[in-house]
Structure 1
Amino acid sequence: MMNKYTVAFLLCISSFFYLPHLAYAAPAKNEVAQLQTMKVNINTAQLEELILLPGIGTKKASAIIEYRTKHGKFESLEEVANVKGIGEKMLQKLQDKVTLK
């Protein structure tokens, strides 16, 4: 038979696997559509906003923020290509999704 500490431990561990699923709520369809049509200000966006952009994950979003911190605001979209991991193809994907102001 298990003692009360073992039971409490098992309950705590199992909650880590179950509770996050309860906390997540998928965005409504209109919210998804709104996010897809919204432009992200690449000069002021935080990590959470940048990762909403196509092809931008946590690593590239962090690189954008780091570049922006070192060099100041982006003056043109082409300047974003100076960020490690972002090339011409990525710029084409971002063109209609970002703003500089």
Structure 2
Amino acid sequence: MKKIIPLLLLSSTILFSISPVVLANSVVDKTQTMQMKIQKINVNTATLDELMALPGVGAKKAAAIVEYRDKMGKFTSLEQLADVKGIGKKMLEKMKDHVSL
């Protein structure tokens, strides 16, 4: 019994000294994830992969955005995205908080 108490004290000291580090790393990971979610994608400069990160945008819609941009020039308003094949008003509504010009 005398050997168990110091062992328990030692293990609890180690456990509590590690916990703040683990918690701090967890907070940093969550903050970085939130910053990535908040960051908007510029439809005038985004790559195919970046465009595919938008809600509801897959490879075909991303390619259509790039094709439209190449033919018509830079987007001057977010509403112009509705002119892209495969993007309607509902899709535009989902995307609008995630894109910039």
Q: How many residues align?
A: 73
Between the two proteins, what is the percent identity of the paired residues?
58
Task: Give me the CA root mean square deviation.
Answer: 1.2
- The corresponding residue for 1:44 is 45
> Could you tell me the TM-score, scaled by structure 2's length?
0.67
Q: What SS class does the counterpart of residue 97 from structure 2 fall into?
A: coil
Unaligned residue ranges in structure 1 (runs of 5+): 1-27
Larger Rg: 2
Alpha-carbon distance in structure 1 between the residues aligned to 2:61 and 2:33: 22
> Could you tell me the TM-score, scaled by structure 1's length?
0.67
Alpha-carbon distance in structure 2 between the residues aligned to 1:29 and 1:56: 24
Q: CA deviation at 1:33?
A: 2.2
Q: Flag the structure with higher helix content.
A: 2
- The corresponding residue for 1:67 is 68
> For each residue in 1:40-76, what CA deviation from the matched residue of structure 2 results, as whole angstroms up to 9, or x when unmatched?
0000000111011100111100000000000000111
